[in-house]
């Protein structure tokens, strides 16, 4: 079966890799960018994957059960299995932080309810092969001395040792490289202009039409132009900084997060001095429809929260700063994985909003099983 994938961010690349192990699929991927997602870009990133921080928040998601939680957990399991394979086959060094996520918890009117919810989740997670721990200020101070536990009245933190963080662009490059080795054809610099329907659907591109048996649209925000989907951009800004001296405990550098602001070590080397801090969540407001731009005030709020949580950041030096757009489905949950209509051979795999890196593997597995059902 010929499968044409439109869009090669993390979602398209993961689908291509997942299908590439199976001889029944003859796969082509087109993307309008001149080449694979670039690592460490600055300024406005042309793809969502190029801007992503790569947090894989699965066990620490405040959900007891359900499809979204299952997809999250499956994502981490897939990466634990596939990343070593990718490193082996491509020789690429894929930064993959396995030291967990520490999420600060703050006093509020409902903090007792919050604590009870976390305690309930702590009891449930072992049945999902995961762990969660509640840490109180003394433990936080001794294990992560870089955190100011008095900032904004933190009452403690939830530590999720089984969650991860990966470098999204390098991971995408590795998936492309490995899929190429398994026979997938990639055509960069080729923009899809629209789908043509019929027995064999096709995609009109800047350099002619490509016929296929099935078309998978995984073009992120660009998917809206190829379908009737209503996807809205949600902007995120982030920064990479370098420190004059190591912070925290060398050898234990988890992701630290508070009020949705994340501090992420760039790598796990004990001498690492570089961190990512991100990301803002900026919605399109009426007066700026179609012209969403990074808001300096949102960045200042992010940076103030980061420095309050980790005071050593005040002396950090900026390495690069960037922004990107997340594809959010309007009025329905993310992500969207469905046929455009009952009889069509056009499959949408898009709208992953804030968790596209985490949800790409479960998306790819679902796409695979949907394609297996096509006669």
Ligand X SMILES: Cc1cc2nc3c(=O)[nH]c(=O)nc-3n(C[C@H](O)[C@H](O)[C@H](O)COP(=O)(O)OP(=O)(O)OC[C@H]3O[C@@H](n4cnc5c(N)ncnc54)[C@H](O)[C@@H]3O)c2cc1C
CB of 11 to ligand X, least distance (A): 4
Smallest distance from the beta carbon of 354 to ligand X, in angstroms? 5
Contact 279, 238 (CB under 8 A): yes
In the bound complex, what is the minimum distance in angstroms from residue 92's beta carbon to ligand X?
18
* Shortest CB 312 distance to ligand X, Å: 22
Q: Which is nearer to ligand X, 149 or 364 (CB)?
A: 364
Contact 275, 241 (CB under 8 A): yes
Strand partners, 350: 336
**In terms of DSSP H, where are the helices of the chain?**
10-20, 48-51, 67-90, 111-124, 137-143, 168-181, 296-309, 356-372
Min separation Cβ 18 and ligand X, Å: 14
Task: Name which of 46 and 311 has its Cβ closer to ligand X.
Answer: 46
Residue with smaller CB distance to ligand X, 51 or 147: 51
Q: Which is nearer to ligand X, 30 or 144 (CB)?
A: 30
Query: Using CA atoms, how far apart are residues 91 and 232, in angstroms rounded to an integer?
Result: 37
Question: Is the distance from CB of 323 to CB of 334 less than 8 angstroms?
Answer: no
Task: Please say which residue, 8 or 362, places its beta carbon nearer to ligand X.
Answer: 8
- The CA angle 7-9-10, to the nearest 5 degrees, is 130
Helix count and strand count (H, E) for the chain: 8, 22
Distance CA 324, CA 172 (A): 16
List interacting residues with ligand X (CB under 6 A): 6-12, 30-33, 47-49, 51-55, 191-192, 218-220, 222, 236, 238, 278-279, 324-327, 350, 352-358
Closer CB to ligand X, residue 51 or residue 74?
Answer: 51
C-beta of 220: minimal distance to ligand X in Å? 3
In whole angstroms, how close is the CB of 276 to ligand X at the nearest point?
Answer: 9
Q: What b/e string do you get for 271-309 counting C-beta neighbours within 10 Å, with b at 16 or more? A: ebbbbbbbbbebebeeeeeeebebbeebbeebbebbbbb
- The first and second tokens of residue 80, run together, are 């634990």
Nearer to ligand X, 38 or 311 (CB): 38
Question: Residue 35: phi, psi to the nearest 5?
Answer: -165, -175
CA dist., res. 90 & res. 86, Å (int): 6
Least Å distance, CB 23 to ligand X, is: 25
Burial of 359 (0-12, 13-18, 19+ CB in 10 A): buried
Question: Is 268:99 a contact under the CB 8 Å cutoff?
Answer: yes
Considering beta carbons, is residue 10 or 154 the nearer one to ligand X? Answer: 10
Residue 45: CB minimum distance to ligand X, A: 7
**Pick 248 or 324: Cβ nearer ligand X:** 324
């Amino acid at each position: 079966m010929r499968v044409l994938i439109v869009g090669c961010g993390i979602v398209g690349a993961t689908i291509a890799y997942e299908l590439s192990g199976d001889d029944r699929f003859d796969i082509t991927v087109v993307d309008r960018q001149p080449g694979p997602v670039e690592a460490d870009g600055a300024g406005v990133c042309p793809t969502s994957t190029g801007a992503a921080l790569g947090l894989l928040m699965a066990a620490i998601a405040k959900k007891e059960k359900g499809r979204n939680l299952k997809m999250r957990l499956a994502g981490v399991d897939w990466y634990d299995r596939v990343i070593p394979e990718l490193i082996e086959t491509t020789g690429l060094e894929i930064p993959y932080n396995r030291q967990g996520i520490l999420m600060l918890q703050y006093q509020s009117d409902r903090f007792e309810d919050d604590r009870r919810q976390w305690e309930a989740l702590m009891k449930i997670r072992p049945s999902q092969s995961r762990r969660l721990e509640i840490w109180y200020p003394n433990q936080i101070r001794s294990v992560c001395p870089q955190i100011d536990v008095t900032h904004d009245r933190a009452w403690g933190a939830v530590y999720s040792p089984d969650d991860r963080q990966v470098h999204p662009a390098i991971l995408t490059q590795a998936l492309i490289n490995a899929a190429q080795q398994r026979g997938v054809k990639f055509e960069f610099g080729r923009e899809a202009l629209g789908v043509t329907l019929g027995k064999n659907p096709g995609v009109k591109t800047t350099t002619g039409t490509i016929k296929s048996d099935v078309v998978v649209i995984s073009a992120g925000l660009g998917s809206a132009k190829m379908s009737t989907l209503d996807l809205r951009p949600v902007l995120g800004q982030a920064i990479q900084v370098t420190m004059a001296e190591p912070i925290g405990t060398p050898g234990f550098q988890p992701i630290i997060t508070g009020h949705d602001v994340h501090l992420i070590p760039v790598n796990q080397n004990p001498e690492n001095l570089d961190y990512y801090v991100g990301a803002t969540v900026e919605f399109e407001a009426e007066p700026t429809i179609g012209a969403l731009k990074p808001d300096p005030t949102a960045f200042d709020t992010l940076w103030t929260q980061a420095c309050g949580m980790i005071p050593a950041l005040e002396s950090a030096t900026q390495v690069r700063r960037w922004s990107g757009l997340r594809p959010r489905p309007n009025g329905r949950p993310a992500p969207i994985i469905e046929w455009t209509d009952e009889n069509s051979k056009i499959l949408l795999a898009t709208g992953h909003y804030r968790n596209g890196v985490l949800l790409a593997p479960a998306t790819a597995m679902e796409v695979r099983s949907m394609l297996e059902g096509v006669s």
